[in-house]
Chain A
Amino acid sequence: MKILVCEDDYMVIKAIEHKLTREGYEVDIANDGRMATEKLKTLTYDLVITDLLMPFSGGLELINLMKNEMKKETPIIVLSKVGNEETIIEAFKLGADDYLTKPFSPNELSIRVKRFLIKR
Chain B
Amino acid sequence: MIEFFKVLQFIVENGIIILTIFIFGSYTALAIFSAIAMLRYMRKNSFVDYNVLLSSPLAPSISVIAPAYNEGKTIVDNIRSLLSLHYNDFEVIIINDGSTDDSLEKVVKAYDLEPVKLMFEQKLNTQPVKAIYKSRNKAFSKLVVVDKENGGKADALNAGINLAQKDFISAIDVDSILVEDALLIMAKPFLEEDGHKIIASGGVIRIANSCKIEDGRITEIKLPKRFLPRMQVLEYTRAFLMGRMAWSKLNGLLLISGAFGMFNRDVVIKCGGYNTDLVGEDMELIVRMRRYMAEHNEKYRVIYIPDPLCWTEAPSTLRVLTRQRDRWTRGTMESLFKHFKLFFNPRYKALGLLGHPYWFFLEWLAPIIEFIGIVYFIIIAILGYPNWPFFFLLLATVFLFAITLSFWAVLFEELSFHRYNKRREVVKMLITSVLEPIFYHPVILFSTIRGNFKFFIGEKTWGKMERQGFAENDDQEKDVREVEGVSPKTLES
Binding site for B on A (CB under 8 A): 33-34, 53, 55-58, 60-61, 63-64, 68, 81-84, 86-87, 90, 93-94
Per a CB cutoff under 8 Å, which of B54, B141, B214 touches A34? B214
Could you tell me the distance between the alpha carbons of A58 and B84 in the complex, rounded to whole angstroms?
7
A-B contact pairs, 24 of them (CB 8 A): A34-B215, A53-B86, A55-B217, A56-B215, A56-B217, A57-B80, A57-B215, A60-B139, A64-B137, A64-B139, A68-B137, A81-B54, A81-B55, A82-B55, A83-B55, A84-B57, A84-B88, A86-B88, A86-B89, A87-B88, A90-B138, A93-B138, A94-B138, A94-B139
Are B55 and A64 interface neighbours, CB within 8 A?
A: no
Q: Are A82 and B138 in contact (CB under 8 A)?
A: no
Complex: chain B residue closest to A101, CB-CB: B55
Q: How far is the CA of A55 from the CA of B220 in the complex (A)?
A: 13
Question: Which residues of B line the A interface, CB within 8 A?
Answer: 51, 54-57, 80, 84, 86, 88-89, 137-139, 141, 180, 214-215, 217
Residue numbers in A under 8 Å from B51 (CB-CB): 81
Q: Which residues of B contact A83 (CB under 8 A)?
A: 55
Report whether A87 and B55 are in contact in the complex, using a CB–CB cutoff of 8 Å.
yes
Residue of B nearest to A84 (CB): B55
A81: B residues at CB distance < 8 A: 51, 54-55
A84 to B56, CA, bound (A): 7
Q: How far is the CB of A78 from chain B (nearest CB, A)?
A: 13
Task: Give A68 to B112 CA distance when docked, in angstroms.
Answer: 13
Chain A residues positioned under 8 Å from B137 (CB to CB): 64, 68
- In this complex, which of B138, B139, B214, B215 has the most chain A Cβ atoms within 10 angstroms of its Cβ? B139
- Could you say which residues of chain B place their CB within 8 Å of the CB of A53? 54, 86, 180
Complex: A84 Cα to B55 Cα, angstroms: 6
Interfacial chain B residues near A94, Cβ < 8 Å: 138-139
Prevailing SS type, chain B contact patch: loop
Chain B residue, CB-CB nearest to A63: B139
Q: How far is the CB of A36 from chain B (nearest CB, A)?
A: 13
Which residue from chain B places its CB closest to the CB of A54 in the assembled complex?
B84
Q: Give the distance in Å from the alpha carbon of A93 to the alpha carbon of B139 in the complex.
A: 10
Specify the chain B residue showing the minimal Cβ separation from A90.
Answer: B138
A64/B180 in contact, CB under 8 A: no
Chain A residues within 8 Å of B88, by CB: 82, 84, 86-87
Q: Which residues of B contact A86 (CB under 8 A)?
A: 88-89
Cα-based distance from A60 to B56 in the complex (angstroms): 19
Q: Please, which residues of chain B bring their CB within 8 A of the CB of A93?
A: 138
A52 to chain B, nearest CB (A): 9
Q: Which chain B residues border A82 with CB–CB below 8 Å?
A: 54-55, 88
CB distance from B138 to the nearest CB of A (A): 6
> What residues of chain B lie closer than 8 Å to A64, measured between beta carbons?
137-139
Contacts of B86 in A (CB 8 A): 53
> Please, which residues of chain B bring their CB within 8 A of the CB of A56?
84, 214-215, 217
A53-B86, A81-B55, A86-B89 given. 8 additional CB < 8 A pairs? A33-B84, A60-B139, A68-B137, A81-B51, A82-B55, A84-B57, A86-B88, A90-B141
CB distance from A97 to the nearest CB of B (A): 16
In Å, the complex CA distance between A114 and B180 comes to 34
Known: A64-B137, A90-B138. A55 touches B54 (CB 8 A): no
Q: Could you say which residues of chain A place their CB within 8 Å of the CB of B54?
A: 53, 81-82
Q: Which residue of chain B has its CB nearest to the CB of A82? A: B55
CB distance from B254 to the nearest CB of A (A): 36
Most buried by A among B84, B88, B214: B84
Contacts of B139 in A (CB 8 A): 60-61, 63-64, 94
Q: How far, in Å, is B135 (CB) from chain A's closest CB?
A: 11
Q: How far is the CA of A59 from the CA of B138 in the complex (A)?
A: 13
Across the interface, which residues of A come within 8 angstroms of B80, CB to CB? 57
* B217 neighbours in A (Cβ, 8 Å): 55-56
Distance between Cα atoms of A63 and B138 in the complex (Å):
11
In the assembled complex, the Cα of A54 lies from the Cα of B192 at a distance in Å of 28
CB distance from A79 to the nearest CB of B (A): 14
How far is A92 from B84 in the complex, measured between Cα atoms in Å?
19
By beta carbon, the residue of chain B nearest A37 is B215
Tell me, in angstroms, the Cα distance from A118 to B86 when the chains sit together.
35
Q: Which residues of B contact A63 (CB under 8 A)?
A: 139
Q: Which B residue's beta carbon lies closest to that of A32?
A: B217
How far, in whole Å, are A87 and B217 apart by their CA atoms in the complex?
23
A108 to chain B, nearest CB (A): 19
Bound Cα distance A81, B51 (Å): 9
Residue of chain A at shortest CB distance from B87: A53
A55 (CB) vs chain B CBs: closest residue: B217
A61, B137: Cα distance in complex, Å = 10
Bound Cα distance from A91 to B57, whole angstroms: 18
Bound Cα distance A57, B139 (Å)? 11
Task: Give the nearest-CB partner of A60 in chain B.
Answer: B139
Contact partners of B89 in chain A: CB under 8 A:
86
A61 to B135, CA, bound (A): 14
Chain A residue nearest to B86 (CB atoms) is A53
Nearest 3 A-B pairs (CB), nearest first? A64-B139, A82-B55, A84-B55
Partner of B84 from A57, A84, A87 at Cβ < 8 Å: A57
Complex CA distance for A34 and B216, rounded to whole angstroms: 12
B184 to chain A, nearest CB (A): 11
Nearest residue in A to B139 (C-beta to C-beta)? A64
Docked Cα-Cα span, A93 to B56, in Å, equals 21
Complex CA gap A55/B86 in Å reads 10
Shortest beta-carbon distance from A81 to chain B in Å: 7
A90 to B54, CA, bound (A): 15
Chain B residues with CB below 8 A from A33, complex form? 84
